[in-house]
C-alpha cells in the first residue's frame, strides 16, 4: 500500500499511532513501527533526559522509522523538542504551538515534521512554517479535536493544502482507512484502537471498558483538561466536567503542578511564577492540565474510573477485541484493500 505518506516517512503502511501520554511508550512505538506503521512516542510526561532515554530505548527495539511528539503548550515541551532534534528523530509531531524552528532544524538532518491541526487556518500556517504534512484531528478524536468531524475536515484540508493530510479521530478499522483515503487523506493516525491491544500498558480495567462501551459512550468537554477533549464516559470524567476549575480544583492543581515540575525536572517556583506571569487564560489552562495529568495517571496505571478519567475517541465503539499491534495493522490493511475492490465493483455496476 503506497501513499504520499508511506513514501515520505519510508513506512510500509499509512498507519500511525498517536502519541498518547503513558500509553505510547517505547515498547508500543517499536511494536507499531516493526509492524510496518509509524509509532509516535509521547513526550508529554517526560523531561528532557527521560525523552532522550526513551529514544535510545526505541532504537534498541526497532531499526525502522519512528516518531515522537512535542506538545509545545506543556511545560518542558520546547525542551523535549530540542532533544528530539539533537537525537535526529526521523519524524517529529508538534502541536499547540509554533513549530517553524522545529521544521528548519529537522530538515537540516533529513527529518520530517507533522503538525497536528483542527482548522484550515492552522493547517495553512503549519504548511507555511515548513511542516511536511498535517494530522487532521476531527471531532471524533480523543484530544484535541474541535467542532468539525473528519468527514468534512479532511477534504477541506486536502483541497487547501499542497502537503499531505493524515486523518486522526474515528479510525479503528479498514473501513476507516478506506474512507480516509477516499476523502483525500494519505493515511490515518489511531490512538484508541492501539491502546486496546495486547502490548498496550493501559490498565486492564480500561481495556475491558473499551470493549464494553459503544460510540455514544464518550463525553466531549472543555472542562476536562482545559481544551476541547473527549473522554470515556465514567464517573471520574463526569465529576471533572461538573467541577470544571472551581476553587477546590484550583487548590488541587497546586500539589499536582508540583509533581509535574518534579517529573519534568524543573524548579517548582520557576514554573509556578512563570505560569502566573503568563496571564489567567494560560494559568487556568495549565491548572486544568495539572489535574488532568493526575487523573489520567490514575486511569491508565491504577484502572481507577471513580477519580481517574481517560481520553478516548468515539471509535471506542468499534473496538471489540484485544489483538496484538501487528494483528491490528494487518487486519486494517487487508480490510481496506477488500473494501476498495468492493467499491470499485459497485461503481462499475
How much is the pTM? 0.90
| Same structural domain, 174 and 229 | no
Sequence-distant (6+) residues with CB within 8 A of 271 are: 75, 257, 260, 261, 264
Predicted pLDDT of residue 289? 76
Q: Which residues of the chain have pLDDT under 50?
A: 273, 277, 280
C-alpha cell at 251: 487548590
| Same structural domain, 173 and 83 | yes
Cα 93 to Cα 72: distance, rounded to the nearest angstrom: 10
Predicted pLDDT of residue 273? 47
Q: Do residues 8 and 112 touch, judged by C-beta distance below 8 A?
A: yes
* Residue 221: domain span: 205-302
Query: In this structure, how many other beta carbons lie within 10 angstroms of the beta carbon of residue 63?
Result: 10
- Please write the tens of the pLDDT for every residue from 116-166: 999 999 999 999 999 999 999 999 999 889 999 999 999 999 999 999 999
Tally of domains in the chain? 2
Which candidate, 311, 66, 313, places its Cα nearest to that of 173?
A: 313
For residue 310, being part of any structural domain is answered with: no
Predicted pLDDT of residue 252? 64
| Same structural domain, 224 and 210 | yes
We report the CATH number of the domain holding residue 118 as 3.20.20.70
| Same structural domain, 178 and 150 | yes
- Please write the tens of the pLDDT for every residue from 55-87: 999 999 999 999 999 999 877 899 999 999 999
| Same structural domain, 48 and 89 | yes
C-alpha cell at 91: 519524524
Peptide bond into 67 cis (omega under 30): no
Amino acid at each position: 500500500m503506497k501513499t504520499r505518506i508511506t513514501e515520505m516517512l519510508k513506512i510500509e503502511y499509512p498507519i500511525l499511532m498517536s502519541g498518547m501520554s503513558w500509553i505510547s511508550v517505547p515498547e508500543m512505538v517499536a511494536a507499531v513501527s516493526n509492524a510496518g506503521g509509524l509509532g509516535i512516542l509521547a513526550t508529554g510526561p517526560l523531561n528532557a533526559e527521560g525523552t532522550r532515554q526513551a529514544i535510545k530505548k526505541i532504537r534498541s527495539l526497532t531499526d525502522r522509522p519512528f516518531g515522537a511528539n512535542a506538545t509545545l503548550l506543556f511545560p518542558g515541551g520546547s525542551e523535549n523538542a530540542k532533544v528530539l532534534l539533537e537525537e535526529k528523530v526521523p519524524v517529529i509531531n508538534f502541536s499547540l504551538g509554533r513549530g517553524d524552528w522545529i521544521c528548519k532544524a529537522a530538515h537540516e538532518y533529513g527529518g520530517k515534521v507533522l503538525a497536528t491541526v483542527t482548522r484550515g487556518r492552522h493547517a495553512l500556517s503549519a504548511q507555511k512554517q515548513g511542516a511536511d504534512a498535517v494530522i487532521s484531528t476531527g471531532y471524533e478524536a480523543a484530544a484535541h479535536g474541535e467542532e468539525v468531524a473528519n468527514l468534512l475536515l479532511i477534504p477541506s484540508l486536502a483541497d487547501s493544502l499542497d502537503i499531505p493530510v493524515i486523518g486522526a479521530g474515528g479510525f479503528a478499522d479498514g473501513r476507516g482507512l478506506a474512507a480516509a483515503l477516499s476523502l483525500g487523506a494519505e493515511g490515518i493516525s489511531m490512538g484508541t484502537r492501539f491502546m486496546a491491544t495486547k502490548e498496550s500498558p493501559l490498565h486492564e480495567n480500561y481495556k475491558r471498558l473499551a470493549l464494553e462501551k459503544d460510540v455514544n459512550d464518550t463525553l466531549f468537554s472543555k472542562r476536562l483538561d482545559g481544551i476541547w477533549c473527549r473522554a470515556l464516559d465514567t464517573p471520574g470524567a463526569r465529576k471533572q466536567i461538573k467541577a470544571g476549575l472551581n476553587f477546590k480544583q484550583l487548590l488541587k492543581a497546586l500539589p499536582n503542578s508540583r509533581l509535574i515540575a518534579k517529573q519534568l525536572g524543573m524548579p517548582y517556583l520557576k514554573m509556578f511564577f512563570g505560569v502566573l506571569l503568563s496571564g489567567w487564560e494560560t494559568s487556568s489552562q495549565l491548572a486544568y492540565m495539572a489535574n488532568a495529568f493526575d487523573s489520567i495517571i490514575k486511569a491508565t496505571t491504577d484502572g481507577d474510573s471513580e477519580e481517574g478519567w481517560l481520553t478516548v475517541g468515539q471509535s471506542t465503539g468499534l473496538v471489540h477485541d484485544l489483538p496484538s499491534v501487528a494483528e491490528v495493522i494487518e487486519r486494517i490493511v487487508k480490510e481496506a484493500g477488500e473494501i476498495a475492490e468492493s467499491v470499485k465493483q459497485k461503481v462499475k455496476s
